[in-house]
Structure 1
Amino acid sequence: MFVVLLTYTAPIEEIDYVLPDHADWLTKQYENGHFLASGKRNPCIGGVIVTRPMARGKLDAILATDPFALQHLATYEVIEFSPTRTAPELRPVNEAVAH
């Protein structure tokens, strides 16, 4: 499982211009079953994505298709973690405790 921290590297006006494309990209990732949660950071300096378990290379390939990445508007810090506890409603997506 991964937590991805996006940090904007461009003025918010440029981010806002590409935001609809980024939102469409997020929708596609949810539809494909890759992401569990996402949202803006507070203060609004970027975003956060929580992914389902997957290979790191697959995640890197997915992130490379984000319009923010394609237009060099954000950087990505990827944090891998192995949850050992999960709320009951998340157990089906946590391979570590689902068995």
Structure 2
Amino acid sequence: MYVVLLTFTAPMEEVDYALPDHAKWLEKHFQAGEFLAAGRCNPREGGVILTRPMSRAKLEAILCLDPFALQHLATYEIVEFAATRTAPELSALNEAVLA
């Protein structure tokens, strides 16, 4: 699974203008079961996306189509990790149990 850290690289006015399209893009990937959580950082300098396990190539292809990426409004840091300990409500994501 991955944690994706978005950092805004453009003025907030530009980010806000693209936000509705970004929200639609997020919803598409939540509906596809690829994203688990997403939200703004505080302070509002970017955001975070938590994904299900997938290939890094697939994730990079998904991120390339984010309106923030298409409009050069954010950069992305991808952190891959294997969940080996989870809260009970997240046990389905515990890769140590799945192994």
For 1:61, the aligned partner's letter is: A
CA contact (8 A) 1:53 1:95 kept: no
Identity across matched positions, percent: 68
Question: How far did residue 98 of structure 1 move?
Answer: 3.5
Report how many residues are paired: 99
Match in the other structure for 1:84: 84
Match in the other structure for 1:26: 26
Structure 1: tracts of 5 or more residues without a match: none
TM-score by length of 1: 0.95
Match in the other structure for 2:75: 75
SS at match of 2:24: helix
**Which whole-Å deviations, capped at 9, do the CAs of 1:26-70 have from their partners, x for residues lacking one?**
000000000000000010000000000111000000000100000
Match in the other structure for 1:4: 4
Structure 2: tracts of 5 or more residues without a match: none
CA contact (8 A) 2:83 2:93 kept: no
RMSD: 1.0
Match in the other structure for 1:15: 15
TM-score by length of 2: 0.95
Question: Aligned in 2, Cα 1:15/1:8: closer, same or farther, shift over 3 Å?
Answer: same
